[in-house]
A and B are shown apart, each in its own frame.
Chain A
Amino acid sequence: MFYYNFKYELKILLRSRWIQLISGLLLVLFVFASFNGSQKIEKRKAEISKAREAVKTSDARMLQQLDSIEKGHKVQVARWMVPTSPIAIGNYYPRVAAMDPNEMGFIAVGQSDVFTHYVSPRVSADDFSINFTEMTSPIQLLFGSFDLVFVLVYLLPLIIIAFSYNVLSEEKERGSLRLLASQPISIKKWVFQKLGLRFFWMAVIITVISLGVFLLNDVVSISGLLSFLALIFCYMLFWFSLAFAINLLVGESAKNALSLIGLWIVFVLLMPSLISQTGDIFFKIPPRMQMVQEIREHKAEAVKKQDEILDNFLRDHPEYAVNDSAQSRNFWHGYMASQNLLKEELQPLLSSYDEKLEEQQNWINKLKWTSPAIITQRALGRLAGTTKQDYDTYQEQVLQFAEEWRSFFMPLLFNNGVFTSELAKSLPAFEYKPKSDNYLVSSLLGLLVMTCVIMGVTVSMYSIRSKETGILGS
């Protein structure tokens, strides 16, 4: 029976042009969406490499100047930019701390349009002055991007619904259900096989198209492709299981379609917005203005007491006072010492914001299990490396690097040392290391569990009902 089902179903799908239509539609959507995604990635890559190029050029100039100075020649630069001064190097020759896109970046724009992908921390700037948000038209942020995640999370379920809402009801409406009921197969099994075959063909089409799209985007990681496909298949399974449930439990074609669309609205539109809103309501983040004002107060205080702060700093760091017999102190000594103090003082304030944000995130993380759309969106975003979590990791690493950059120059500054071409070789460099966790497995499991629950409930409900009214009764 399965063999017949397989054969005739394929014939029907081909003759009704469903397979052709879906292949064409998916091909167009996938290619357009991945083109949009990769366009952003290319732009990002170009910007980062341009910034790196600029550093290379200015480094070459710096080395040239250092070389001249070390040989005893005069150089033509403003006196505050002479590269023997450690502060000049720390301020005017910053490194590029960039977040390079990963090769799957094109599948999800995610938060990449909100945040910047490279910054250049300077020695005299504090952590609050590093602006991590990108200049993007807010309308663009409001509308979002037509990327693969949009196609997969929003549109794919609708295609599945259009592809499967009337599998059983059509037979009923055409009158062929009676013929079917006379066959040696249960209706349950028959719908299951029919939907299973549709799932199979759709999966085949998606695999082929994804393969093409990934090749076009030079993705070499096979595990990446497999994770991507596994996620889509599990998400598809969820929607097919809903279609199975509605087909067996509802009845008329139009009613089926309406019920499925209703479920789509709930899972894809309403749940995510409700959940993110509850996060805002239950875990209110204190207004950022309060933070800004406290920072300002601390800064004003620090400016007033700069001399005192410097004395205290030197007392805490006797190593700086020892090596230098001249003990000459200028503006930068006081400034850097007070920056140091400011950072320590403001740490608790900043952490309190981070904690609140984390609480909010944890809450959302718990609730995400109520909507497969959220699970899939997050997991795909993680694959692409463009979720808020990825940007948090990057920003954290940048702040660490900024600290490393400052610490490199602090001993030099306080010992009134001179920056040399030898030291230029050991300047700290930034490398972004993405954090990975087991989000993929848990997401896949979550989707599968949902599917199983829906299937189980449907089968048991259907059994009860068909015992009461019979297969043909309604």
Chain B
Amino acid sequence: MIKKTIHKELKELFRDGRIKMASIIVLLLMVTAIWISTNQYNRSNEQYEKAKVAEREVWDNQGEKNPHSAAHYGTYVFKSKQPLSLLDQGVDKYTGTSIFLAAHTRSEAEYSEVADQSELARFGQLSPDFILLYIIPLLIILIGYNSFTKENEMGTMSLLKSQGAVPWKIMIGKWVAIFLPIALMTIVLFVIAGILLSTLDGYTPFKWSSLFVLLLVYLFYYVIFINITLFVSKNVRKSGVSLVLLLGVWIISCLAAPKAASNFAESEYPYPTRQEFENTIAIAKKEGLDGHDPWSDAAKRLEKEVLEEYNVDSLHKLPFNFNGYRMQKGEEHEAAVYKTHYEKLKNQFEKQVDTYITTSVISPFLPTRLLSMGIAGTDYYSHWDFADAAENYRIAAQKFLNDDLAYNTKYGQRNYVADADFWKKLPTFNYQPPGLATIIKQNTFSILVLLAWGLITSALLFNFRTKN
């Protein structure tokens, strides 16, 4: 019985001109989207390589210089594209890809793409994630909205029942008939992406396991949409009404809820403005040691402590140059200030994520969106991880430079310059993005909400007691 239903439904699907048309359009869009994002991926990898090499050259060849001048001159680190960004670009467009690392300041990533684009870009872009997240659910609705209503309208439901068909078997048949073509399309897309990724050169190794988990997330997302579609179709009399209702669900879930959630998140847990944030940090910095200022109270206190610790009566007798030491201590104080304030910012962001998760109650789109960009390594968590790694590297680089001042010069020595070769000794910045296990842990709530959506909609769908 189930087999027959599947067979009949699939045949009907393939004979329906509209669905054929729609599927062809979706496939075409997918191919275009993959083509566009492959180009982008290659281009940004190329730019990344160029920028990275050029910047290191600039650093290595800065010539004889005082280490602290070099610290102010600074260097840049760059974020490479993650392989799965080919499928989900996530927030990449909205975060910068280069971070300036210099003495005394933690900088934000610069030059986000969105700042160069007009408001038109905010409509979204034709990328695989757009099709996976928005268009395929629409296709599911298109295929399934009249699954049951047509039987009622044509009077075939009673015929079916008279044949002794069991409701749950019809349901499974219809369900599988929608799931099969959708799953096939999705799997084809993912296989193409996988093959492309394993042949393209990237900077982060591509893992089939991540791709597979991403595929599972999307298939589960479609399961939820199929459940909702069939549920509505089963419980409504007219095809037109079913279609309108389902579109309503789609609009609320995919368009309205994310936007509303972003408004809630912002009004509940706002970010400070850039100026406010910088001011707070400037004030906090002033309360502690400034490496450049030997006359401040904090500097005097440090001097006293160090003299006591080494049991000497003059800075000249210390086994290192106190000026370099103070510079490093100042740097450490500043790094601690940044750490506290960025920690606060991150907290605020995590509370915002909670708001998104709460809003997921009315939208299966939200947890899928968060999970998808998480697995693709293009979400905000990934950006934080990169920015924090860059900051750690900055702190290490400052210590490297200040230590040279402290241990290779004498107190009171002026006009010291380090060798031209010295800069090459600074280790390079090697960033490893978090692994799949960490990502899954970060997104536990999204996974739970998504599972709940799946379970609840399935339970609703296969609850036949109220009818008959």
State in angstroms the CA–CA spacing of A427 and B164 once bound together.
91
Contact between B271 and A138, CB atoms less than 8 A apart: no
Which residues on A sit within 8 Å (CB–CB) of B91?
138-139, 141-142
State in angstroms the CA–CA spacing of A270 and B124 once bound together.
9
Contact between A274 and B126, CB atoms less than 8 A apart: yes
State in angstroms the CA–CA spacing of A102 and B95 once bound together.
28
Contact between B123 and A276, CB atoms less than 8 A apart: yes
Within 8 A of B (CB), among A145-197: 145-146, 150, 154-155, 158, 162, 165-166
Contact between B94 and A289, CB atoms less than 8 A apart: no
Contact between B276 and A47, CB atoms less than 8 A apart: yes
State in angstroms the CA–CA spacing of A255 and B17 once bound together.
12
User: Measured between C-beta atoms, what is the minimum distance from B420 to chain A in Å?
Assistant: 14
Contact between A143 and B272, CB atoms less than 8 A apart: no
State in angstroms the CA–CA spacing of A146 and B251 once bound together.
13
Complex interface bits, B338-354 against A, C-beta within 8 A gives 1, otherwise 0: 00000001000100110
Query: At the interface with chain A, which of B229-237, B262-270, B446-454?
Result: B262-270
Q: Is B320's CB within 8 Å of the partner chain A?
A: no
State in angstroms the CA–CA spacing of A158 and B246 once bound together.
13
Q: Select one of A137, A150, A357 contacting B259, CB under 8 A.
A: A150
Contact between B271 and A137, CB atoms less than 8 A apart: yes
**Cβ-closest chain B residue relative to A365:** B118
User: Measured between C-beta atoms, what is the minimum distance from A157 to chain B in Å?
Assistant: 11
Q: Is B422's CB within 8 Å of the partner chain A?
A: no
**Cβ-closest chain A residue relative to B270:** A43
Which residues on B sit within 8 Å (CB–CB) of A140?
262, 265-266, 352
Within 8 A of A (CB), among B260-292: 260-263, 265-267, 270-277
Contact between B243 and A257, CB atoms less than 8 A apart: yes
Contact between A388 and B271, CB atoms less than 8 A apart: no
Within 8 A of A (CB), among B39-93: 39, 47, 50-51, 54-55, 58, 62, 73, 76, 78, 90-91, 93
- Name which of A166, A255, A270 has the most chain B CB atoms within 10 A of its CB: A270
Complex interface bits, A246-290 against B, C-beta within 8 A gives 1, otherwise 0: 000000011101100100010011101111110111000101111
Query: At the interface with chain B, which of A116-124, A340-348, A418-426, A443-451?
Result: A116-124
User: Measured between C-beta atoms, what is the minimum distance from A167 to chain B in Å?
Assistant: 13
Within 8 A of A (CB), among B374-397: 379-380, 383
Interface size class of B (residues with CB under 8 A): 35 or more
**Cβ-closest chain A residue relative to B356:** A139
Q: Select one of B47, B93, B256, B274 contacting A135, CB under 8 A.
A: B274
- Name which of B134, B243, B383 has the most chain A CB atoms within 10 A of its CB: B243
Contact between B255 and A154, CB atoms less than 8 A apart: yes
State in angstroms the CA–CA spacing of A240 and B275 once bound together.
47
Measured CB to CB, the residues of B under 8 A from A are 18, 29, 36, 39, 47, 50-51, 54-55, 58, 62, 73, 76, 78, 90-91, 93-95, 98, 108, 110-112, 114-126, 130, 134-135, 138, 142, 146, 239-240, 243-244, 247, 251, 255-256, 258-263, 265-267, 270-277, 345, 349, 352-353, 356, 379-380, 383
Q: Which 4 A-B pairs have the closest CB atoms?
A: A272-B123, A138-B94, A138-B91, A288-B111
A-B contact pairs, 29 of them (CB 8 A): A47-B275, A51-B275, A116-B274, A116-B275, A134-B273, A135-B345, A138-B95, A139-B265, A139-B356, A139-B380, A140-B262, A141-B91, A141-B94, A143-B259, A143-B262, A150-B259, A166-B240, A253-B240, A258-B142, A272-B120, A277-B125, A289-B76, A289-B111, A292-B111, A293-B51, A293-B58, A296-B73, A378-B120, A387-B118
